[in-house]
Structure 1
Amino acid sequence: MGDLYALDFDGVLCDSCGESSLSAVKAAKVRWPSLFKTVDSALEDWIVDQMYTVRPVVETGYENLLLVRLLLEMRLSSIRKSSVEGLTVDEILENWMKIKPVIVEEWNENRDALIDLFGKVRDEWMDNDLSTWIGANRFYPGVADALKFASSKVYIVTTKQSRFAAALLRELAGVTIPPERIYGLGTGPKTKVLKQLQEMPEHQGLTLHFVEDRLATLKNVIKEPELNGWNLYLGDWGYNTPKEREEAAKIARIRILELSDFSKKLK
């Protein structure tokens, strides 16, 4: 009958860490001007560099802002007393789900306000200098061609705002995916989207595949008996850690996927 692929975007199709980190630094300067006033270009480069290491913990884009500030606080904690004193990058990778609510409360932040700010900063960057914004992203090797020539039905299921995913697919990969096939931020949890996709009459009889780079997301799918029909894959090129890949390899439902095999599968 054919195949349906539900694909995560960041970390599966697109390496957007450069752009999301730079956007987060821009947004952090707007949100916390006094704190970021002293950040020079060398410190900014250090933050962006560290963001590549902590990127596996990000589920939704606004968390990049929290991480950018957290990294700065960690750097400054030697100068002034801070609750993050002694915190390490490894501990962020290990305990982000516990750290996040603590800092959100301590900094008196609001998730929706940060989401709006992050989107606004990206929109302004795109409006003022689209080519630089696009250039801060890259599609993984072979992915653009795999999408162009895919014989399977392809859906994008992402926590990125849909307009950014669509712009990158169009401008950077040269691929147009109809808007109704892009489920972005605000369309509900990925488990809910997968249920919607499998229930559509036109998808009956198709073999279902879900490709993700976050182990936590795949584990959420496994918890839902209704989603037992999905083949689950963890992309080993995305934003995950060796420890997570090791854990995934022991879970019967999950297959570890290499980039070259992913491109072949879509074609």
Structure 2
Amino acid sequence: MGDLYALDFDGVICDSCGESSLSAVKAAKVRWPALFNGVDSTLESWVLDQMRIVRPVVETGYENLLLVRLLLEMRVPSMRKSSVVEGLTVEGILERWSELKPVIMEQWGENRDGLIDLFGKVRDEWMDQDLETWIGANRLYPGVGDALKFSSSTVYIVTTKQNRFADALLRELAGVTIPPERIFGLGSGPKVEVLKQIQKKHQGYKLHFLEDRLATLKNVIKEPELDGWNLYLGDWGYNTQKEREEAARISRIQSLQLSDFSEKLK
């Protein structure tokens, strides 16, 4: 029957960190305008640099907004509205994000749906006003565009990015159109449930799932129904050395390099 690849998008196909960080700063200025009164270009550049370091903790795009504000509160004591900031470091964010996130959201009076809507709206406005610059703030990882274009495998995209953004980037950067029914984006439900749907539809295929988030792969391992999937951690994506070392100790997960992936997909 052939091979089927379910691919994460950000951190596997596309290095979107530049765009998502810039969009998060734009959205944060809309959400918390007073916060940015004292923010000059030097401080903004520092935030954007730090965003690349903390990017591995992001599961869904709206979290970028929270990270922008948290970094500003860490750097500028007078902005602080959160009790967790005292003594917090970038390493601390990487280690403790899952416990920090609900605390800061409560202390700032934020909710997930509102931030998701705002983040999507800011991106849509940027795309409408200047598509070229929006596209240019993203980049495909080397070789991935050709691998997708010439792949003889069946390819699905399974991402927490909103479908319209993944679709636009595939078309503009890779020259690839993936049918909409093969793009499972934000709102499609947990990735483990998406994989179950895909395998039901494609019985007899050799199944491969490639992610850059170790936590997601560990969730798949917990589901006996998904035992038939070959699991890969992309070591070029948004993960840490510590996570890559942990993955190497899990027999079910294969660590993959970018060149190996492009070769596999072709």
Structures share fold, TM-score greater than 0.5: yes
C-alpha separation in 2, matches of 1:215 and 1:78: 36
C-alpha distance after superposition, 1:92-135 (max 9, x if no partner): 00010000000000000010000000000000000000000000
Correspondence 1:148 to 2:152:
no
Q: Could you tell which deviates more after superposition, 80-89 or 114-123?
A: 80-89
- What is residue 183 of structure 1 aligned with on the other side? 184
User: Which residue does the alignment assign to 2:165?
Assistant: 164
Counterparts of 1:21 and 1:31, CA distance in 2: 15
Aligned identity (percent) is 82
The one-letter code of the counterpart of 1:74 is M
Question: CA separation in 1, counterparts of 2:128 and 2:39?
Answer: 25
Q: What is the number of residues matched between the two proteins?
A: 265
Distance in 2, matches of 1:255 and 1:82, equals 39
Question: Aligned residue for 2:5?
Answer: 5
Indicate the residue corresponding to 1:252 in structure 2: 251
Give distance in 2, aligned partners of 1:96 and 1:150: 37
Cα distance between partner residues in 2 of 1:77 and 1:50? 17
- Tell me, in whole angstroms, the C-alpha distance in 2 between the residues paired with 1:20 and 1:256: 26
Following the alignment from structure 1 to structure 2, what is the Cα–Cα distance between the partners of residues 171 and 81? 41
Question: Match for residue 215 of structure 2?
Answer: 216
Instruction: Say whether 1:58 aligns with 2:58.
Output: yes
Tell me the TM-score normalised to structure 2 length.
Answer: 0.98
Q: Which amino acid aligns with 2:164?
A: R
The Cα shift of 1:166 comes to: 0.1
CA offset at residue 80 of structure 1? Answer: 6.0
Over residues 139-170 of structure 1, what are the superposed CA-to-partner deviations in whole Å (9 max), with x where a residue is unaligned? Answer: 00000000000000000000000000000000
Letter in structure 1 aligned against 2:142: P
Q: Distance in 1 between matches of 2:81 and 2:188?
A: 41
Q: How far apart are 1:37 and its partner, in Å?
A: 2.0
- Residues 81 and 8 (structure 1), Cα distance of their counterparts in 2 relative to 1, 3 Å cut: closer
Q: Is the 8 Å Cα contact of residues 78 and 85 (structure 1) preserved in structure 2?
A: no
- C-alpha contact 2:233 2:256 (8 A) present in aligned 1: yes
- Supply the distance in 2 between the matched residues of 1:161 and 1:198 (Cα, whole angstroms): 22
Range moving further from structure 2, 158-167 or 168-177: 168-177
- Residue matched to 2:32: 32
Query: SS at the partner of 1:86?
Result: coil
Structure 1: state its 5+ residue gaps: none
Within 1, Cα distance between the matches of 2:205 and 2:72? 48
User: Structure 1 residues 50 and 210, CA, compared in 2 at 3 Å: closer, same or farther?
Assistant: same
Q: CA deviation at 1:77?
A: 2.1
Q: In 2, Cα distance between the equivalents of 1:225 and 1:170?
A: 35
* Amino acid aligned to 2:240: T
3-state DSSP class of the match of 2:230?
A: strand
How far apart, CA to CA, are the structure 1 residues paired with 2:82 and 2:249? 39
In 1: Cα distance, 2:171 partner to 2:2 partner: 25
Give yes or no for contact 1:29–1:37 (8 Å, CA) kept in 2: no
Output the CA distance in 1 between the equivalents of 2:48 and 2:162.
Answer: 21
In the alignment, which residue of structure 2 is the partner of 1:232? 231
| Separation in structure 2 between the aligned mates of residue 54 and residue 176 of structure 1, nearest angstrom | 31
Indicate the residue corresponding to 2:112 in structure 1.
Answer: 111
Q: Structure 1 residues 12, 79: CA separation in 2 closer, same or farther (over 3 Å shift)?
A: closer
Query: d(CA) in 2 for partners of 1:79 and 1:169?
Result: 39
C-alpha distance in structure 2 between counterparts of 1:177 and 1:81, whole Å: 44
For the residue of structure 1 that corresponds to 2:174, the secondary structure is coil
Tell me, what secondary structure is at the counterpart of 1:69?
A: helix
In 2, Cα distance between equivalents of 1:73 and 1:184: 31
